Amino acid sequence: MSIRVLQPGLMDTIQDLGRYGYQHLGINPGGAMDRIAVRAANALVGNPAGEGVLEMHFPTSSFLFESGAIIALSGGDFTAMIDGRVLPLNKPVLVAAQALLYFKGPVSGARCYMAVRGGFDLEPWMGSYSTHLKAGAGGFHGRALQKNDMLPLKQKANYAKLLDRKDFKVLPRMIYTQNMYVTTELRITAGSEFTLLSEQEQLFNHSFDCTRHCDRMGYRLEGVALKHYKEGELLSSGVTRGAIQLMPDGQMIILTADHQTTGGYPRIGHVIAADLPSLAQHRPAQPLRFTLVSVNDAIAAHHEQTQRLHLLENACKLQLEKWRQAYDLY
């Protein structure tokens, strides 16, 4: 009951919704960059929202299913293929034992997520399946996937009858997550050093490009240098995901999942939680724009998005139950 890594990708790690409660020890919450995709993929295969999934970047690993499984892909579209046929995103897929899954090329997004029904059979570290690369803990041996890794699965599955000798079969349930992402304008709240900007409108009247330094630790942006008042060096203090740090040269770095827990750069703003998945799927070629919202509006947006995910999870649960009865599926 496992999935074998045939060719390793750029950086594929096990992630979940994060590890909270240890930031006072310098251990960041980490977790998936795109929480919408994690919850969608887990919902489609009937997993709890916080089950560990694979977060994949392109180039992506290729996988051999040593045993059958039900999987779901969500987030970025990397053209997933089995036996020359494309697998859809956001649908549950039965995969036959010995099927080979590979990814041909990115069409949209920057990170693709794969959930497996039942989840990967791994030990959580400090309450989470997320891979903490610096600590070398959590996920699959605390590291990115390598050649010949065997990802163990919790659940045994044999769908030979349903598959009818095919390599995979798409189950007829589609969910739509696209409208939960924003395309170009990210909503931000003002940070504690927002007033350090001497021309605040600069932040909203210009677009900014993602440089090649955009990863799980942070997104370094490039654009007009933001004019700011000089302030003496700040004492380091706690920082959180989504914080927009102003560098001395007027450029910005947005902190992402694997950020350090403390920092000493001025925080001019925070990307709101509801829009962090959009940032995670942002492709470098597109420019980024910002718009300002209040803290309470940010929370209301996050709440609304979470409600939609709840609805989606409930709908999937009902559907899976129907299939279970109809096909003796699980």
Partner 1 sequence: MLNWPQRIDPAVNAAVMAAFRRLQQLSPRWVRDLIPAYASLTIVYDALYIYAELDKDVAGWVSLQVPALLSGTENITATPARQIDIPVCYDPAYGLDITALAGQKEMSVEELIALHTGRSYTVYMLGFLPGFPYMGTVAEQLVAPRLSKPRPLVPAGSVGIAGAQTGIYPLASPGGWNIIGQTPLRMFDAAREPASFCQPGDEVTFVPISAREFDQLKKQS
Residue 149: which residues within 8 A CB-CB, separation 6 or more? 4, 5, 8, 140
Interface with partner 1: number of residues (CB under 8 A) = 39
Q: Cβ 301 to partner 1, closest distance in Å?
A: 11
Site for partner 1 in 253-312 (CB under 8 A): 260-263, 273, 294-296, 299-300, 302-303, 306
With CB under 8 A as the contact rule, the residue among 87, 99, 214, 239 that binds partner 1 is 239
Helix (H, G, I), strand (E, B) or coil at 87: coil
Site for partner 1 in 186-225 (CB under 8 A): 192
With CB under 8 A as the contact rule, the residue among 1, 64, 162, 234 that binds partner 1 is 234
Max CA pair span of the chain: 70
**126 touches partner 1 (CB under 8 A):** yes
Instruction: Give CA torsion, residues 169, 174, 177, 183, to 10 deg.
Output: 80
Query: What value, to the nearest 5°, has the Cα angle with vertex 19 and ends 17 and 20?
Result: 110
Instruction: Give CA torsion, residues 286, 287, 288, 291, to 10 deg.
Output: -120
Distance between CA atoms of 172 and 47, rounded to whole angstroms?
18
Residue 46 DSSP one-character state: T
With CB under 8 A as the contact rule, the residue among 111, 132, 187, 282 that binds partner 1 is 132
Q: Cβ 132 to partner 1, closest distance in Å?
A: 7
Which CB atom, from 80 or from 133, has the smaller least distance to partner 1?
Answer: 133
Window contacting partner 1 (CB under 8 A); options: 26-34, 48-56, 88-96, 107-115: 26-34
Distance between CA atoms of 115 and 40, rounded to whole angstroms?
9
Chain positions contacting partner 1, by CB under 8 A: 20-27, 29, 125-126, 132, 134-138, 142, 192, 234-240, 260-263, 273, 294-296, 299-300, 302-303, 306
